């Protein structure tokens, strides 16, 4: 069995060593143009040339949860595309989102500004019941985030394409319930996959339906958010602020207004990083299953886009 590694911007040596250890007997190599045909590929942001040459692939393993960029390429027709379904990312995402929600709710950003200005001040405690959190996307990551938020006694609502049931979360499903979800939400968390249907989903029409004083947390993809519409609603006061980890162009251009808007907190696409050892163990397990003809989870439906 031959496995080929093609991950742009990733140091290959630790991955090769880990895959060789997890799959004894497998031939594991870094892709070079003209390389012999492989059975499986471990990829991140590969060039089209890679798939044009590697036409015999049975499995394509993406070392991240998002596959939108991968699906834009022309892939081998018989290959199964597989995404990481957790590999240590869900707990990181829950940490990030809970931190952002609590920082906003407890007004820690305002306290920080006061301290920097040399002011010793107090604010009246707020009521959690006035800050319902809505999570868009209830897959592995979204479900973990929603249930983690519920542990802090926030009212939590969730929205997904198909019906879901989660303890402590009031779930909405389908386009016909999207407006109901938005109107029940004050703090909006986006964890949707990026598809043609979800691109620009956070725009003036939808964000205006959030409760007054709303807050936006985007940890999915930058193309979900219309930047100008967010800035407009912040200027008008309908939205109180935002925490953004993903952007349409990354790194975020130096002239972008998000850098200098005091109502926006930005981080450099770091809400949930791929953990190498856990990812290797998951990928190796799935390769063994595919080779044995057994079913696996995390298989991507190219039609749905996730």
269 as an active site residue: the answer is: yes
pTM given for the model = 0.91
- DSSP run (H or E) holding 172: strand 170-173
CA 93/CA 41 separation, integer angstroms: 26
Q: Domains (ranges, CATH) in the chain? A: 2-87+274-291 (3.40.50.720), 89-266 (3.40.50.720)
Q: Tens of pLDDT along 215-237?
A: 999 999 999 999 999 999 999 99
**In a 10 Å sphere around its CB, with 0-12 CB exposed, 13-18 middle and 19+ buried, how is residue 138 labelled?**
buried
Spatial strand order in the sheet of 239-244: 170-173, 156-160, 133-136, 187-190, 214-218, 239-244, 264-266
Residue from 221, 238, 260, 304 carrying the catalytic annotation: 221
221 as an active site residue: the answer is: yes
In this predicted structure, what is the pLDDT of residue 65?
77
Q: Tens of pLDDT along 160-217?
A: 999 999 999 999 999 999 999 999 999 999 999 999 999 999 999 999 999 999 999 9
Count of CA atoms in the C-beta half-sphere (13 A) of 24: 0
Residue from 177, 256, 269, 276 carrying the catalytic annotation: 269
């Amino acid at each position: 069995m031959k496995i080929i590694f093609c991950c742009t911007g990733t140091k290959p040596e630790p991955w090769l060593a880990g895959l060789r250890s997890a799959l004894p007997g497998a031939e594991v190599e870094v892709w070079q143009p003209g390389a012999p045909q492989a059975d499986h590929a471990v990829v991140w942001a590969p060039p089209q040339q890679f798939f044009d040459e590697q036409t015999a692939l049975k499995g394509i393993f993406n070392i991240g949860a998002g596959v939108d960029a991968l699906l834009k390429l022309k892939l081998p027709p018989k290959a199964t595309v597989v995404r990481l379904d957790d590999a240590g990312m869900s707990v990181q995402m829950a940490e990030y989102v809970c931190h952002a929600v609590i920082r906003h709710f407890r007004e820690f950003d305002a306290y920080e500004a006061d301290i920097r200005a040399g002011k010793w001040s107090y604010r009246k405690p707020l009521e959690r019941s006035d800050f319902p959190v809505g999570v868009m996307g209830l897959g592995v990551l979204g479900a973990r985030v929603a249930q983690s938020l519920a542990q802090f006694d926030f009212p939590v609502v969730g929205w997904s394409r198909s019906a879901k049931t989660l303890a402590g979360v009031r779930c909405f499903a389908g386009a016909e319930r999207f407006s109901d979800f938005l109107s029940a939400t004050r703090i909006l968390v986006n964890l949707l996959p990026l598809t043609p249907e979800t691109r620009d989903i956070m725009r003036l029409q939808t964000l205006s339906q959030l409760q007054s004083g709303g807050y936006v947390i985007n940890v999915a993809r930058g193309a979900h958010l219309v930047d100008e519409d967010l800035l407009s609603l912040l200027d008008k006061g309908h939205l109180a602020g935002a925490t953004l980890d993903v952007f349409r162009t990354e790194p975020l251009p130096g002239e972008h207004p998000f850098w200098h808007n005091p109502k926006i907190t930005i981080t450099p696409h770091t809400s949930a990083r791929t953990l190498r050892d856990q990812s290797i163990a998951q990928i190796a397990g799935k390769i063994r299953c595919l080779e044995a003809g057994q079913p696996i989870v995390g298989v991507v439906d190219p039609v749905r886009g996730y």
